Copies of this chain bind each other. A is one copy, B any other.
Amino acid sequence: MTEALIYLDPDSNLNLQSQIRQKLVDAILIGTFPGGSRLPSSRKLAEQLGVARNTVVLVYEQLIDEGFLESRERSGIYVNKGILQGRIGFHRRSSRRVEVDTHWRKRFCSQTDDKPQFQWPDDWQKHPYPFMDGHFDASLYPTTQWRESSRMALGTRDLSTGLVADGNTDDPSLLEEIRTKMLPRRGINAALDEILITLGEQNALYMLAHLLVDETVSVAIEEPGNPRMRQLLALRKAKIVLQPVDENGMLINTRLDDTQLLYVTPSHQVPTAVTMATQRRQALLKKAHELDQLIIEDDFEHESNFLGQPHPALRSMDKDNRVIYVSALPRVLSPGLRIGFIVAAPELIREARKLRRLVIGQPSLVSQRTAAFFLSLGHYDSFMARLHQEMNQRWLELRDALNHYRPYFTTMPNKGGSVFWVLCPQHIDVETLAIEAAKRGILIEPDSHYYAGKRQSKNCFRMGVTSIPRESIREGVERLRELMWELESGKSEFLNEDDPDLLRGNELQRVMSGSTWIYKTVYGDPCTFELHEDGTLSGWAGHANEERDNGKWWIKDDRWYRQWNEWAYGEISSFYITVKGHHLRLFNKEKRLVDSAIIHIYQG
């Protein structure tokens, strides 16, 4: 190995001794020969290089003098362990090469958008409240099942004998599992020539952008939207139409009329997690049909609908094969299994298959086979059930915590997925919030990198539940609210003791008794409280009053106390109350304004 490193150049200006010395020093400084490693004897190295032994001896002696090497009696020549101390720079960067400026910038024919990307800190594990999306805590990885599947994949005879790895063929057993187990859940019937295996979702989108987009094509994407898709389109020099999103998903209007391709994430919009409404799906397909547009449906996180049934995929409603469906095995598996797929018209699949051969060769057969076993052994179903349950609990926990600590948060309506798109008070700058939060161990994601254009507001951020344990969620949200209080210091509203609307003692008792309060939950659902005269409390929430709870209320020290059985963690809380007309406001013990409602008073 040493001799390969030391290439002696007959045309060099340096003599043999200097050349050998130079190469050895390079190898030591760059870490190819780590501290403590043993070098060949001078005799052996001289033999290998075809030089006089004395040449090598001289080099070694010089390097020992200079501290690069050390000689250990009856043992040999070693690289000095201390040599790299204080030389970190060398380790990171080659010092050997003459840095001829080969004008790299000028040479790049295509460059990826250089805008600084949002990045989670490398030491995110050390943060007790990581409200990150897309990373998963270790407990969720189905290690045992994955191992079994991978062992079986390695055991199949056809691993090295079955498929001709020509880049054209997908593992038939994986195709069959996707076709009969995954796609029907989304309402999709697909023939074999309508499916292509890819190296995950990103790889699928890359190939589609490559095939369908260039500078002549106008593409509509959601705003805010998936920043990687935007980068992909920029790489292809597409004309981009940024289409706003509301609580029913991407708007369908005449702004789309001049586009040829639409990219949508209808299941859970990235980044807002909004689900596209059925009517809007129909309008989208109708327009695409009339204008002969293609649609890329990125069916992101379709598995995780916690409220109500999932919508069938757009592709299942598509009558004329214009929806190109992209999905993948769940993200939590992606450290081990990056498998995605495209379902589309056979013409497109054929072309994408040819491109795939050039881009990645072929997805690893063992990975494909592992995924096939994971599906066929039923691990996928049981794993998804477990994941769904866990995510559902975390998601509810976060929703309830956000609701409990309102009105500091409001979110987009959300039927599931793994994130909430949170709106915080206007005078808080979300970039500052994220930085300060990280210092307290709370990780949240500011919204800015999801916008291509001007942000509508500067106070949105995302909170995800894939990496935070359920039991830390409430505490994380509470601490985040405390931080917000600090950040808005001077801007919070406090109770004025002289406020003529402040209710006390008997008056408070009288006004509260028999009153009905109308709220909106943090996620936009209506919510009604009734304060019965007998001191009991009833509540309904949801558009169909699907959530209910009971509790009790009382008055003490000029404050209103309440305790629900389930809601608000079943804890006792107390508030100062002001009422002006129908407007009710609640102040906490520290007299900070914390909530408000509409009150209907039925005085006895």
Do residues B124 and A320 form an inter-chain contact, with CB atoms below 8 A? no
Query: What is A's interface to B at a CB cutoff of 8 Å?
Result: 1-7, 9, 11, 26-27, 30-32, 34, 91-94, 96-100, 102, 104-105, 107-112, 114, 117, 119-122, 124-125, 134-138, 140-141, 143, 146-147, 150-151, 154-155, 157, 159-161, 164-169, 179-180, 183-194, 199-203, 206, 210-214, 216-217, 228, 231-232, 235-236, 260, 282, 292, 294, 309-310, 312, 316-322, 332, 334-338, 345-348, 351, 354-355, 357-361, 364-367
Do residues A360 and B203 form an inter-chain contact, with CB atoms below 8 A? yes
Do residues B125 and A4 form an inter-chain contact, with CB atoms below 8 A? no
Contact A191:B30 (CB < 8 A) given known A93-B346, A107-B212, A337-B364? yes
Residues of B within 8 A of A141 (CB): 159-160
Residues of B within 8 A of A160 (CB): 136-138, 140-141, 332, 335
Contact A154:B161 (CB < 8 A) given known A4-B184, A213-B109, A336-B364? no
Contact A228:B112 (CB < 8 A) given known A92-B192, A316-B4? no
Residues of B within 8 A of A165 (CB): 134-135, 334-335
Do residues B320 and A97 form an inter-chain contact, with CB atoms below 8 A? yes
Chain B nearest CB from A416 CB (Å) reads 15
Chain B nearest CB from A282 CB (Å) reads 7
Copies in the complex: 2
Contact A355:B112 (CB < 8 A) given known A160-B138, A184-B5, A364-B336? yes
Contact A336:B365 (CB < 8 A) given known A27-B184, A107-B294? yes
> CA of A135 to CA of B184 in the docked complex: distance in angstroms?
36
Residues of B within 8 A of A228 (CB): 357-358
Do residues B183 and A32 form an inter-chain contact, with CB atoms below 8 A? yes
Jot down 23 A-B pairs with beta carbons below 8 A, ordered by A. Answer: A2-B184, A3-B309, A4-B184, A31-B179, A93-B346, A94-B190, A98-B319, A99-B320, A104-B347, A107-B260, A107-B294, A108-B351, A109-B210, A109-B217, A111-B351, A112-B357, A134-B165, A136-B160, A138-B161, A334-B364, A336-B366, A338-B360, A364-B367
